[in-house]
């Protein structure tokens, strides 16, 4: 197993897709369908990387990122924002709240793993 990746994503198809690619590439995937569960799982599992969707119900991705960064136990885990909400400085906002990277949806299957592994390697 290459590493543990926590995917916080509320859309089942997207989750299935990301999980499929990551698992086929040799990673163990943990999934959370909402922000609150995601934070709990991050604290509990201490994954090597968190893939974070920005459009989440109740608590959005920015709030989740802020929350994760505020917790000293897990503040070192790299977070990569994944969002289709590519408007009005989303990238800047994601970086501002503590994300390490930004992947725009729809994901490009040819480059997705490259981008994910770039952040794993940095760690």
Partner 1 sequence: MFEMVARGDADAAVTNQFYGAMHARKYDLVDTAVVFEPSALFFAAPKNASPELLDAIDRHLSILKKDTRSAYYAILKRWTSEEVRFKFPAWLQIVFLIVGVVLLTSLAGSFVLKRQVNARTFELKKINREMEERIIDRTAELALAMEKAQAADRIKSAFLATMSHELRTPLNSIIGFTGILLQRLGGPLNEEQEKQLKMVYNSAKHLLNLINDVLDISKIEAGQLNVASETFNLRDAVEKVIKTSQPLADNKGLKLSAEIAPEIGTIRSDRRRVEQILLNLLSNAIKFTEQGYVRMTCEVRSDKIVIAVSDSGIGIKPEDLGILFNAFQQIESGITRKYDGTGLGLSICKQLANLLGGKIEVESEWGRGSTFSLILPLEGEKA
CB count within 10 Å of CB 84 equals: 15
Out of 40, 66, 71, 109, the only residue in the binding site for partner 1 (CB under 8 A) is: 109
Q: Which residue has the tokens 């934070």?
A: 39
Candidate ranges 39-47, 58-66, 69-77, 81-89; the one touching partner 1 (CB under 8 A): 81-89
Instruction: Number of residues interacting with partner 1: please give it, by CB under 8 A.
Output: 21
76 near partner 1 (CB under 8 A): no
69 near partner 1 (CB under 8 A): no
**Which residues, 6 or more positions from 61, have their beta carbon under 8 angstroms from its beta carbon?**
8, 35, 52, 53, 54, 55, 81, 83, 94
28 near partner 1 (CB under 8 A): no
88 near partner 1 (CB under 8 A): yes
55 near partner 1 (CB under 8 A): yes
Q: Where are the alpha helices (DSSP H) in the chain?
A: 12-24, 35-45, 61-70, 90-96, 112-122
Classify burial at 104, counting beta carbons within 10 Å of its beta carbon; exposed 0-12, middle 13-18, buried 19 or more: middle
Which of 42/54 has CB closer to partner 1? Answer: 54
Enumerate binding residues for partner 1 (CB under 8 A).
Answer: 11, 13-14, 17, 20-21, 24, 55, 84-89, 92, 105-110
């Amino acid at each position: 197993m290459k590493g543990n990746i926590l995917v916080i994503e509320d859309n089942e198809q997207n989750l299935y897709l990301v999980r499929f690619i990551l698992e086929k590439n040799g990673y163990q995937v943990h999934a959370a369908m909402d922000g609150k569960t995601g934070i709990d799982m991050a604290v509990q599992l201490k994954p090597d990387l968190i893939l974070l969707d920005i459009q989440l119900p109740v608590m959005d991705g920015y709030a989740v990122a802020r929350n994760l960064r505020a917790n000293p136990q897990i503040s070192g885990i790299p977070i990569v924002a994944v969002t289709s909400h590519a408007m009005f400085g989303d990238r800047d906002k994601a970086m501002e709240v503590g994300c390490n990277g930004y992947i725009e949806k729809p994901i490009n299957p040819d480059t997705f793993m490259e981008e994910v592994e770039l952040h794993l390697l940095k760690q």
